[in-house]
A and B are shown apart, each in its own frame.
Chain A
Amino acid sequence: MKQLVLLFAFMITLGAAVNVWSDDLIMDKDALNAMLAAPDLVILDVRTGKDWSSSEFKIQSAVRAPAAEYADWSASYSKDKTLVLYCA
Protein backbone atom coordinates (compact mmCIF):
# COMPACT_ATOMS: atom_id res chain seq x y z
CA MET A 1 0.00 0.00 0.00
CA LYS A 2 2.82 2.35 0.95
CA GLN A 3 4.53 1.58 -2.33
CA LEU A 4 1.36 2.35 -4.26
CA VAL A 5 0.98 5.73 -2.51
CA LEU A 6 4.62 6.52 -3.28
CA LEU A 7 4.17 5.54 -6.92
CA PHE A 8 1.03 7.65 -7.17
CA ALA A 9 2.81 10.67 -5.60
CA PHE A 10 5.73 10.19 -7.98
CA MET A 11 3.41 10.10 -11.01
CA ILE A 12 1.59 13.28 -9.91
CA THR A 13 4.94 15.06 -9.41
CA LEU A 14 6.17 13.86 -12.81
CA GLY A 15 2.91 14.93 -14.49
CA ALA A 16 3.09 18.38 -12.90
CA ALA A 17 6.73 18.76 -13.92
CA VAL A 18 5.99 17.79 -17.51
CA ASN A 19 3.06 20.21 -17.53
CA VAL A 20 5.15 23.12 -16.22
CA TRP A 21 7.96 22.24 -18.63
CA SER A 22 5.63 21.98 -21.63
CA ASP A 23 3.77 25.19 -20.66
CA ASP A 24 7.11 26.90 -20.78
CA LEU A 25 7.74 25.52 -24.25
CA ILE A 26 4.33 26.08 -25.82
CA MET A 27 3.18 29.54 -26.84
CA ASP A 28 -0.12 30.82 -28.19
CA LYS A 29 -0.64 32.98 -31.26
CA ASP A 30 -0.81 36.22 -29.24
CA ALA A 31 2.58 35.56 -27.66
CA LEU A 32 4.04 34.82 -31.07
CA ASN A 33 2.44 37.91 -32.54
CA ALA A 34 4.13 40.05 -29.88
CA MET A 35 7.48 38.51 -30.77
CA LEU A 36 7.25 38.83 -34.56
CA ALA A 37 9.47 41.91 -34.79
CA ALA A 38 12.29 40.34 -32.75
CA PRO A 39 15.44 40.05 -34.89
CA ASP A 40 16.57 36.72 -33.40
CA LEU A 41 13.24 35.02 -34.02
CA VAL A 42 13.09 32.14 -36.50
CA ILE A 43 9.71 30.55 -37.20
CA LEU A 44 10.00 27.01 -38.48
CA ASP A 45 7.00 25.40 -40.15
CA VAL A 46 7.53 21.68 -39.47
CA ARG A 47 4.40 20.52 -41.26
CA THR A 48 4.75 18.14 -44.21
CA GLY A 49 2.50 16.46 -46.76
CA LYS A 50 -1.19 17.31 -46.61
CA ASP A 51 -0.75 18.97 -43.21
CA TRP A 52 1.14 21.72 -45.00
CA SER A 53 -0.38 21.71 -48.49
CA SER A 54 -4.03 21.59 -47.35
CA SER A 55 -3.65 24.41 -44.87
CA GLU A 56 -4.56 27.89 -46.00
CA PHE A 57 -2.74 29.47 -43.08
CA LYS A 58 0.98 29.81 -43.49
CA ILE A 59 3.03 32.30 -41.48
CA GLN A 60 4.66 34.58 -44.01
CA SER A 61 8.19 34.64 -42.63
CA ALA A 62 8.19 30.96 -41.65
CA VAL A 63 10.86 28.63 -43.00
CA ARG A 64 9.81 25.10 -43.94
CA ALA A 65 11.73 22.58 -41.84
CA PRO A 66 10.32 19.02 -41.90
CA ALA A 67 10.31 17.43 -38.46
CA ALA A 68 11.83 14.23 -39.85
CA GLU A 69 14.89 16.18 -41.00
CA TYR A 70 15.50 17.75 -37.59
CA ALA A 71 19.11 16.54 -37.46
CA ASP A 72 19.89 18.33 -40.72
CA TRP A 73 18.42 21.76 -40.04
CA SER A 74 18.81 22.06 -36.26
CA ALA A 75 22.57 22.49 -36.51
CA SER A 76 22.24 25.38 -38.97
CA TYR A 77 20.77 27.76 -36.34
CA SER A 78 22.97 29.36 -33.69
CA LYS A 79 21.99 28.93 -30.04
CA ASP A 80 21.21 32.62 -29.51
CA LYS A 81 18.28 32.41 -31.93
CA THR A 82 14.74 31.88 -30.67
CA LEU A 83 13.29 29.00 -32.65
CA VAL A 84 9.52 28.72 -32.82
CA LEU A 85 8.29 25.45 -34.30
CA TYR A 86 4.87 25.65 -35.91
CA CYS A 87 3.04 22.37 -36.48
CA ALA A 88 -0.72 23.02 -36.71
Chain B
Amino acid sequence: MKLFLYSIAIPIGVMLSPETLVLLGNSAGYNGALFFLSVAIAAVVSCMCAYSIFYLGRQADEGNELSLLAKVLGRFPAAALVISARLSVTLLVATSVLVTAGFAFNEIFVYWFPNFGFAFLLLGFILVFNIIDKSWAAKFQLLLVSCTLLSFSVLLIEGLFFPPSANITTQASELTSLAAASGALLLFLGFDLIINSQAKNKLIPALAAICTIFMLFILWGAVSRAYVPSSSLIESSLPHLKAARSIMGQNGRLLMGVVVICGATAAVNGLFLYMGQTASDLAEQEIIPRFKGEKTLHRLAIILLSLTIGILMMSGLAGEDKLTIYYRGALVLWLLLLSFRCFTAAYLHSSRKSFSFVAVTTGCIIGFLSLLLVAAAEYTREQLFFCLQVYICALLLMLIWPAMVKLFSVINRQSDKEKYL
Protein backbone atom coordinates (compact mmCIF):
# COMPACT_ATOMS: atom_id res chain seq x y z
CA MET B 1 0.00 0.00 0.00
CA LYS B 2 2.81 2.37 0.96
CA LEU B 3 4.64 1.66 -2.29
CA PHE B 4 1.42 2.14 -4.23
CA LEU B 5 0.87 5.58 -2.66
CA TYR B 6 4.45 6.60 -3.38
CA SER B 7 4.15 5.45 -6.97
CA ILE B 8 0.94 7.38 -7.71
CA ALA B 9 2.14 10.54 -5.93
CA ILE B 10 4.40 11.57 -8.84
CA PRO B 11 1.79 11.28 -11.65
CA ILE B 12 -0.96 12.91 -9.58
CA GLY B 13 1.39 15.72 -8.51
CA VAL B 14 2.31 16.48 -12.12
CA MET B 15 -1.30 16.24 -13.33
CA LEU B 16 -2.46 18.69 -10.62
CA SER B 17 0.03 21.40 -11.60
CA PRO B 18 -1.36 24.96 -11.88
CA GLU B 19 -0.87 24.88 -15.67
CA THR B 20 -3.24 21.91 -15.93
CA LEU B 21 -5.80 23.71 -13.76
CA VAL B 22 -5.73 26.69 -16.14
CA LEU B 23 -6.23 24.42 -19.15
CA LEU B 24 -9.03 22.58 -17.35
CA GLY B 25 -10.78 25.80 -16.30
CA ASN B 26 -10.60 27.29 -19.80
CA SER B 27 -11.86 24.06 -21.39
CA ALA B 28 -14.73 23.83 -18.89
CA GLY B 29 -16.05 27.09 -20.26
CA TYR B 30 -16.82 25.46 -23.59
CA ASN B 31 -20.01 23.58 -24.44
CA GLY B 32 -20.74 21.21 -21.55
CA ALA B 33 -21.34 17.94 -23.34
CA LEU B 34 -18.31 18.36 -25.58
CA PHE B 35 -16.09 19.27 -22.63
CA PHE B 36 -17.10 16.18 -20.65
CA LEU B 37 -16.85 14.01 -23.78
CA SER B 38 -13.38 15.29 -24.68
CA VAL B 39 -12.11 14.74 -21.11
CA ALA B 40 -13.61 11.23 -21.07
CA ILE B 41 -12.04 10.35 -24.45
CA ALA B 42 -8.68 11.75 -23.29
CA ALA B 43 -8.90 9.58 -20.15
CA VAL B 44 -9.66 6.47 -22.23
CA VAL B 45 -6.76 7.19 -24.62
CA SER B 46 -4.47 7.72 -21.61
CA CYS B 47 -5.60 4.38 -20.12
CA MET B 48 -4.95 2.65 -23.47
CA CYS B 49 -1.52 4.27 -23.59
CA ALA B 50 -0.72 3.17 -20.02
CA TYR B 51 -1.85 -0.37 -20.90
CA SER B 52 0.34 -0.36 -24.03
CA ILE B 53 3.52 0.98 -22.51
CA PHE B 54 3.34 -0.72 -19.13
CA TYR B 55 1.55 -4.02 -19.75
CA LEU B 56 2.79 -4.78 -23.25
CA GLY B 57 6.17 -3.22 -22.59
CA ARG B 58 6.59 -5.30 -19.45
CA GLN B 59 5.52 -8.49 -21.23
CA ALA B 60 8.07 -7.93 -23.97
CA ASP B 61 10.97 -7.15 -21.70
CA GLU B 62 11.59 -6.07 -18.11
CA GLY B 63 13.54 -3.07 -19.38
CA ASN B 64 13.01 0.63 -18.73
CA GLU B 65 11.55 3.19 -21.14
CA LEU B 66 14.92 3.95 -22.72
CA SER B 67 16.09 0.35 -23.17
CA LEU B 68 12.78 -0.59 -24.81
CA LEU B 69 12.86 2.39 -27.16
CA ALA B 70 16.53 1.72 -27.95
CA LYS B 71 15.66 -1.79 -29.17
CA VAL B 72 13.54 -0.32 -31.95
CA LEU B 73 14.88 3.18 -32.64
CA GLY B 74 18.53 2.61 -31.85
CA ARG B 75 20.46 3.76 -28.78
CA PHE B 76 21.14 7.38 -29.70
CA PRO B 77 17.87 8.38 -31.41
CA ALA B 78 15.98 6.81 -28.48
CA ALA B 79 18.11 8.61 -25.92
CA ALA B 80 17.66 11.89 -27.83
CA LEU B 81 13.88 11.43 -27.85
CA VAL B 82 13.73 10.68 -24.13
CA ILE B 83 16.12 13.51 -23.22
CA SER B 84 14.46 16.10 -25.45
CA ALA B 85 10.98 15.32 -24.13
CA ARG B 86 11.82 14.83 -20.46
CA LEU B 87 14.40 17.59 -20.09
CA SER B 88 12.46 20.26 -21.95
CA VAL B 89 9.27 19.48 -20.02
CA THR B 90 11.09 19.49 -16.66
CA LEU B 91 12.88 22.77 -17.29
CA LEU B 92 9.94 24.65 -18.78
CA VAL B 93 7.22 23.29 -16.48
CA ALA B 94 9.38 24.04 -13.45
CA THR B 95 10.13 27.60 -14.60
CA SER B 96 6.49 28.22 -15.35
CA VAL B 97 4.82 26.68 -12.28
CA LEU B 98 7.35 27.94 -9.74
CA VAL B 99 6.77 31.51 -10.89
CA THR B 100 3.01 30.90 -10.73
CA ALA B 101 3.40 29.60 -7.16
CA GLY B 102 5.43 32.72 -6.33
CA PHE B 103 2.62 34.95 -7.55
CA ALA B 104 0.03 32.92 -5.63
CA PHE B 105 2.01 33.26 -2.39
CA ASN B 106 2.56 36.98 -2.91
CA GLU B 107 -1.00 37.82 -3.89
CA ILE B 108 -2.92 35.42 -1.66
CA PHE B 109 -0.86 34.96 1.50
CA VAL B 110 1.97 37.44 2.14
CA TYR B 111 1.80 40.66 0.11
CA TRP B 112 5.25 41.91 1.10
CA PHE B 113 7.08 38.71 0.15
CA PRO B 114 8.60 38.96 -3.35
CA ASN B 115 7.11 36.42 -5.76
CA PHE B 116 10.46 35.53 -7.32
CA GLY B 117 11.95 35.12 -3.85
CA PHE B 118 9.29 32.55 -3.04
CA ALA B 119 9.79 30.75 -6.36
CA PHE B 120 13.52 30.42 -5.57
CA LEU B 121 12.71 29.32 -2.01
CA LEU B 122 10.52 26.50 -3.34
CA LEU B 123 13.24 25.47 -5.79
CA GLY B 124 15.70 25.45 -2.89
CA PHE B 125 13.41 23.22 -0.79
CA ILE B 126 13.01 20.74 -3.63
CA LEU B 127 16.76 20.74 -4.24
CA VAL B 128 17.54 20.12 -0.55
CA PHE B 129 15.08 17.22 -0.22
CA ASN B 130 16.43 15.59 -3.38
CA ILE B 131 20.04 16.06 -2.33
CA ILE B 132 19.51 14.61 1.17
CA ASP B 133 17.98 11.45 -0.22
CA LYS B 134 15.56 10.27 -2.88
CA SER B 135 13.37 8.71 -0.19
CA TRP B 136 13.01 12.12 1.51
CA ALA B 137 11.96 13.64 -1.79
CA ALA B 138 9.42 10.82 -2.24
CA LYS B 139 7.97 11.47 1.25
CA PHE B 140 7.88 15.21 0.51
CA GLN B 141 6.01 14.39 -2.71
CA LEU B 142 3.40 12.37 -0.84
CA LEU B 143 2.89 15.22 1.65
CA LEU B 144 2.51 17.80 -1.12
CA VAL B 145 0.04 15.68 -3.08
CA SER B 146 -2.00 14.99 0.08
CA CYS B 147 -2.22 18.74 0.83
CA THR B 148 -3.20 19.49 -2.77
CA LEU B 149 -5.86 16.77 -2.89
CA LEU B 150 -7.26 17.70 0.52
CA SER B 151 -7.64 21.41 -0.32
CA PHE B 152 -9.03 20.60 -3.76
CA SER B 153 -11.52 18.13 -2.27
CA VAL B 154 -12.79 20.66 0.29
CA LEU B 155 -13.48 23.12 -2.53
CA LEU B 156 -15.15 20.40 -4.60
CA ILE B 157 -17.38 19.21 -1.74
CA GLU B 158 -18.40 22.77 -0.91
CA GLY B 159 -19.12 23.43 -4.58
CA LEU B 160 -21.08 20.20 -5.11
CA PHE B 161 -23.17 20.18 -1.95
CA PHE B 162 -23.81 23.90 -1.59
CA PRO B 163 -24.77 25.08 -5.07
CA PRO B 164 -24.81 28.82 -5.86
CA SER B 165 -27.94 30.72 -4.82
CA ALA B 166 -28.15 32.62 -8.10
CA ASN B 167 -28.31 30.86 -11.45
CA ILE B 168 -25.19 31.48 -13.51
CA THR B 169 -25.99 32.28 -17.11
CA THR B 170 -24.02 29.77 -19.13
CA GLN B 171 -23.75 30.64 -22.76
CA ALA B 172 -22.95 27.59 -24.84
CA SER B 173 -19.57 28.19 -26.48
CA GLU B 174 -18.87 25.46 -28.98
CA LEU B 175 -15.51 23.76 -28.88
CA THR B 176 -14.23 25.24 -32.09
CA SER B 177 -12.43 22.24 -33.50
CA LEU B 178 -11.09 18.77 -32.94
CA ALA B 179 -7.76 20.41 -32.12
CA ALA B 180 -9.26 22.31 -29.19
CA ALA B 181 -10.85 19.10 -27.90
CA SER B 182 -7.56 17.23 -28.32
CA GLY B 183 -6.05 19.64 -25.78
CA ALA B 184 -7.87 17.53 -23.15
CA LEU B 185 -5.16 14.90 -23.66
CA LEU B 186 -2.70 17.33 -22.05
CA LEU B 187 -4.71 17.15 -18.82
CA PHE B 188 -3.57 13.57 -18.25
CA LEU B 189 0.10 13.98 -19.12
CA GLY B 190 2.09 12.58 -16.25
CA PHE B 191 0.50 9.14 -15.86
CA ASP B 192 3.66 7.55 -17.28
CA LEU B 193 5.92 9.01 -14.57
CA ILE B 194 6.16 5.92 -12.40
CA ILE B 195 9.57 5.11 -11.01
CA ASN B 196 10.99 1.58 -11.31
CA SER B 197 11.98 1.29 -7.66
CA GLN B 198 8.51 2.28 -6.44
CA ALA B 199 6.37 -0.16 -8.39
CA LYS B 200 7.05 -3.47 -10.08
CA ASN B 201 3.68 -3.38 -11.77
CA LYS B 202 3.37 0.11 -13.18
CA LEU B 203 0.02 -0.38 -14.92
CA ILE B 204 -2.17 -0.37 -11.79
CA PRO B 205 -0.75 2.88 -10.32
CA ALA B 206 -0.95 4.56 -13.75
CA LEU B 207 -4.61 3.55 -14.18
CA ALA B 208 -5.40 4.60 -10.60
CA ALA B 209 -3.82 8.01 -11.19
CA ILE B 210 -5.76 8.52 -14.44
CA CYS B 211 -9.08 7.50 -12.82
CA THR B 212 -8.51 9.74 -9.77
CA ILE B 213 -7.66 12.73 -11.93
CA PHE B 214 -10.56 12.01 -14.30
CA MET B 215 -13.04 12.07 -11.42
CA LEU B 216 -11.56 15.24 -9.94
CA PHE B 217 -11.42 17.08 -13.26
CA ILE B 218 -14.94 16.14 -14.34
CA LEU B 219 -16.34 17.28 -10.99
CA TRP B 220 -14.25 20.47 -10.98
CA GLY B 221 -15.38 21.21 -14.53
CA ALA B 222 -19.03 20.83 -13.48
CA VAL B 223 -18.54 22.97 -10.34
CA SER B 224 -16.66 25.67 -12.26
CA ARG B 225 -19.46 25.84 -14.81
CA ALA B 226 -22.05 26.11 -12.06
CA TYR B 227 -20.31 29.01 -10.32
CA VAL B 228 -18.60 31.03 -13.05
CA PRO B 229 -20.07 32.19 -16.39
CA SER B 230 -18.63 30.29 -19.36
CA SER B 231 -17.25 33.36 -21.10
CA SER B 232 -15.41 34.32 -17.93
CA LEU B 233 -13.93 30.81 -17.61
CA ILE B 234 -12.72 30.81 -21.23
CA GLU B 235 -11.12 34.26 -21.06
CA SER B 236 -9.57 34.06 -17.59
CA SER B 237 -5.88 33.36 -17.10
CA LEU B 238 -6.72 32.00 -13.62
CA PRO B 239 -10.12 30.28 -14.01
CA HIS B 240 -9.51 27.93 -11.06
CA LEU B 241 -8.97 30.88 -8.70
CA LYS B 242 -12.10 32.57 -10.01
CA ALA B 243 -14.13 29.42 -9.38
CA ALA B 244 -12.64 28.94 -5.90
CA ARG B 245 -13.48 32.53 -4.97
CA SER B 246 -17.05 32.10 -6.21
CA ILE B 247 -17.46 28.89 -4.20
CA MET B 248 -16.03 29.90 -0.83
CA GLY B 249 -15.04 33.57 -1.06
CA GLN B 250 -11.78 34.48 0.67
CA ASN B 251 -11.47 30.99 2.20
CA GLY B 252 -11.78 29.54 -1.30
CA ARG B 253 -8.96 31.79 -2.45
CA LEU B 254 -6.79 30.58 0.42
CA LEU B 255 -7.57 26.94 -0.32
CA MET B 256 -6.85 27.39 -4.02
CA GLY B 257 -3.62 29.14 -3.04
CA VAL B 258 -2.61 25.97 -1.19
CA VAL B 259 -3.59 23.87 -4.24
CA VAL B 260 -1.51 26.07 -6.55
CA ILE B 261 1.58 26.23 -4.32
CA CYS B 262 1.55 22.55 -3.28
CA GLY B 263 0.58 21.45 -6.80
CA ALA B 264 3.42 23.46 -8.35
CA THR B 265 5.95 22.10 -5.86
CA ALA B 266 4.65 18.54 -6.33
CA ALA B 267 4.89 18.88 -10.11
CA VAL B 268 8.51 20.07 -9.97
CA ASN B 269 9.55 17.57 -7.29
CA GLY B 270 7.85 14.76 -9.22
CA LEU B 271 9.58 15.70 -12.46
CA PHE B 272 12.91 15.91 -10.61
CA LEU B 273 12.42 12.44 -9.16
CA TYR B 274 11.65 11.07 -12.60
CA MET B 275 14.63 12.86 -14.15
CA GLY B 276 16.82 11.04 -11.62
CA GLN B 277 15.38 7.81 -13.01
CA THR B 278 16.07 8.97 -16.58
CA ALA B 279 19.69 9.74 -15.63
CA SER B 280 20.01 6.18 -14.27
CA ASP B 281 18.53 4.79 -17.50
CA LEU B 282 21.03 6.79 -19.55
CA ALA B 283 23.89 5.51 -17.39
CA GLU B 284 22.60 1.95 -17.82
CA GLN B 285 22.73 2.44 -21.59
CA GLU B 286 26.32 3.74 -21.11
CA ILE B 287 25.40 7.07 -22.64
CA ILE B 288 26.47 9.02 -19.56
CA PRO B 289 29.04 7.92 -16.91
CA ARG B 290 27.73 6.23 -13.75
CA PHE B 291 29.28 8.83 -11.37
CA LYS B 292 29.86 6.61 -8.31
CA GLY B 293 26.40 5.06 -8.17
CA GLU B 294 22.77 5.92 -8.61
CA LYS B 295 22.45 8.30 -5.63
CA THR B 296 25.34 10.52 -6.76
CA LEU B 297 23.96 10.54 -10.29
CA HIS B 298 20.52 11.58 -9.00
CA ARG B 299 22.03 14.39 -6.90
CA LEU B 300 24.16 15.61 -9.80
CA ALA B 301 21.17 15.60 -12.16
CA ILE B 302 19.05 17.55 -9.67
CA ILE B 303 21.78 20.14 -9.02
CA LEU B 304 22.23 20.71 -12.77
CA LEU B 305 18.47 20.95 -13.30
CA SER B 306 18.03 23.41 -10.40
CA LEU B 307 20.88 25.58 -11.66
CA THR B 308 19.40 25.69 -15.16
CA ILE B 309 15.91 26.49 -13.84
CA GLY B 310 17.39 29.22 -11.62
CA ILE B 311 19.15 30.73 -14.64
CA LEU B 312 15.96 30.52 -16.74
CA MET B 313 13.96 32.27 -14.01
CA MET B 314 16.59 34.96 -13.55
CA SER B 315 16.79 35.53 -17.30
CA GLY B 316 13.15 36.62 -17.18
CA LEU B 317 11.85 33.81 -19.38
CA ALA B 318 8.71 33.58 -17.25
CA GLY B 319 7.87 37.17 -18.10
CA GLU B 320 7.97 36.48 -21.83
CA ASP B 321 5.15 35.18 -24.01
CA LYS B 322 7.48 32.71 -25.72
CA LEU B 323 7.54 30.57 -22.56
CA THR B 324 4.01 29.40 -23.42
CA ILE B 325 5.13 28.48 -26.96
CA TYR B 326 8.12 26.52 -25.67
CA TYR B 327 6.05 24.93 -22.91
CA ARG B 328 3.42 23.73 -25.39
CA GLY B 329 6.21 22.50 -27.68
CA ALA B 330 7.70 20.49 -24.82
CA LEU B 331 4.30 18.90 -24.11
CA VAL B 332 4.02 17.93 -27.79
CA LEU B 333 7.43 16.25 -27.52
CA TRP B 334 6.13 14.37 -24.48
CA LEU B 335 3.08 13.20 -26.46
CA LEU B 336 5.34 12.08 -29.31
CA LEU B 337 7.47 10.14 -26.82
CA LEU B 338 4.33 8.37 -25.57
CA SER B 339 3.30 7.65 -29.14
CA PHE B 340 6.73 6.09 -29.90
CA ARG B 341 6.56 4.07 -26.69
CA CYS B 342 3.24 2.60 -27.85
CA PHE B 343 4.71 1.69 -31.25
CA THR B 344 7.74 0.14 -29.56
CA ALA B 345 5.53 -1.98 -27.30
CA ALA B 346 3.54 -3.15 -30.34
CA TYR B 347 6.72 -4.01 -32.25
CA LEU B 348 8.21 -5.96 -29.35
CA HIS B 349 4.98 -7.81 -28.81
CA SER B 350 3.93 -8.34 -32.41
CA SER B 351 3.23 -12.05 -31.83
CA ARG B 352 0.04 -11.16 -29.90
CA LYS B 353 -1.90 -9.41 -32.61
CA SER B 354 -4.85 -8.16 -30.53
CA PHE B 355 -2.53 -6.53 -27.98
CA SER B 356 -0.26 -4.96 -30.56
CA PHE B 357 -3.35 -3.63 -32.36
CA VAL B 358 -4.29 -1.68 -29.21
CA ALA B 359 -0.78 -0.25 -28.92
CA VAL B 360 -0.55 0.75 -32.59
CA THR B 361 -4.01 2.37 -32.50
CA THR B 362 -3.12 4.30 -29.34
CA GLY B 363 0.24 5.37 -30.79
CA CYS B 364 -1.51 6.60 -33.96
CA ILE B 365 -4.19 8.51 -31.99
CA ILE B 366 -1.66 10.23 -29.72
CA GLY B 367 0.70 10.99 -32.63
CA PHE B 368 -2.16 12.41 -34.69
CA LEU B 369 -3.51 14.52 -31.82
CA SER B 370 -0.06 15.90 -30.99
CA LEU B 371 0.43 16.98 -34.61
CA LEU B 372 -3.07 18.46 -34.56
CA LEU B 373 -2.17 20.44 -31.44
CA VAL B 374 0.87 21.90 -33.22
CA ALA B 375 -1.12 22.66 -36.39
CA ALA B 376 -3.90 24.39 -34.42
CA ALA B 377 -1.53 26.37 -32.21
CA GLU B 378 -1.31 30.13 -32.52
CA TYR B 379 2.41 29.92 -33.24
CA THR B 380 2.65 26.70 -35.28
CA ARG B 381 5.96 27.50 -36.95
CA GLU B 382 7.69 28.56 -33.73
CA GLN B 383 6.40 25.50 -31.88
CA LEU B 384 7.49 23.13 -34.65
CA PHE B 385 10.87 24.84 -34.84
CA PHE B 386 11.27 24.52 -31.07
CA CYS B 387 10.46 20.77 -31.13
CA LEU B 388 12.89 20.12 -34.01
CA GLN B 389 15.59 22.27 -32.46
CA VAL B 390 15.35 20.52 -29.10
CA TYR B 391 15.40 17.04 -30.67
CA ILE B 392 18.36 17.83 -32.95
CA CYS B 393 20.30 19.39 -30.06
CA ALA B 394 19.62 16.33 -27.91
CA LEU B 395 20.65 14.01 -30.74
CA LEU B 396 23.90 15.92 -31.32
CA LEU B 397 24.59 15.92 -27.59
CA MET B 398 23.96 12.18 -27.42
CA LEU B 399 26.37 11.62 -30.34
CA ILE B 400 29.08 13.94 -29.04
CA TRP B 401 28.89 13.07 -25.34
CA PRO B 402 30.15 9.44 -25.47
CA ALA B 403 32.93 10.49 -27.86
CA MET B 404 33.96 13.20 -25.39
CA VAL B 405 33.87 10.76 -22.48
CA LYS B 406 36.07 8.35 -24.48
CA LEU B 407 38.41 11.15 -25.50
CA PHE B 408 38.84 12.32 -21.93
CA SER B 409 39.47 8.82 -20.67
CA VAL B 410 42.13 8.29 -23.41
CA ILE B 411 43.80 11.62 -22.53
CA ASN B 412 43.75 10.73 -18.84
CA ARG B 413 45.26 7.31 -19.51
CA GLN B 414 48.00 8.84 -21.69
CA SER B 415 48.88 11.45 -19.07
CA ASP B 416 49.01 8.70 -16.43
CA LYS B 417 51.41 6.67 -18.63
CA GLU B 418 53.63 9.73 -19.17
CA LYS B 419 53.76 10.25 -15.42
CA TYR B 420 54.99 6.67 -14.87
CA LEU B 421 57.57 6.91 -17.70
Contact = CB atoms under 8 A, between A and B. Distances in A.
A54 B241 CA distance: 10
Interface stretch (B39-47, B122-130, B315-323, B363-371): B315-323
B44 to A, nearest CB: 30
B256 to A, nearest CB: 10
Nearest to B238: A56
B100 A54 contact: yes
B107 A50 contact: no
A48 B238 contact: no
Interface string A42-67: 00000111111111110000000010
Given A55-B107, A56-B107, A57-B107, A50 B100 contact: yes
Given A55-B103, A55-B107, A57-B107, A50 B96 contact: yes
B264 to A, nearest CB: 10
Nearest to B256: A56
B181 interface: no
Contacts, number: 43
Q: What is the size category of the interface that chain A forms with chain B?
A: 10 to 19
Given A47-B319, A48-B320, A53 B237 contact: yes
Contacts of B18: 54
Interface in B1-53: 18, 22
A55 B241 CA distance: 11
Contacts of B103: 50, 54-56
A52 B318 contact: no
Contacts of A50: 96, 99-100, 103, 318-319, 323
B366 to A, nearest CB: 27
B240 to A, nearest CB: 11
Nearest to A47: B319
Which of B96, B321, B322 has the largest number of chain A CB atoms within 10 A?
Answer: B321
9 contacts: A48-B320, A50-B103, A52-B237, A54-B102, A54-B103, A54-B238, A55-B107, A56-B103, A56-B241
Interface of A: 47-57, 66
Given A54-B99, A56-B108, 20 more contacts: A47-B319, A48-B320, A48-B321, A49-B320, A49-B323, A50-B96, A50-B99, A50-B100, A50-B318, A50-B323, A51-B318, A51-B319, A52-B237, A53-B237, A54-B18, A54-B102, A54-B103, A55-B103, A55-B107, A56-B107
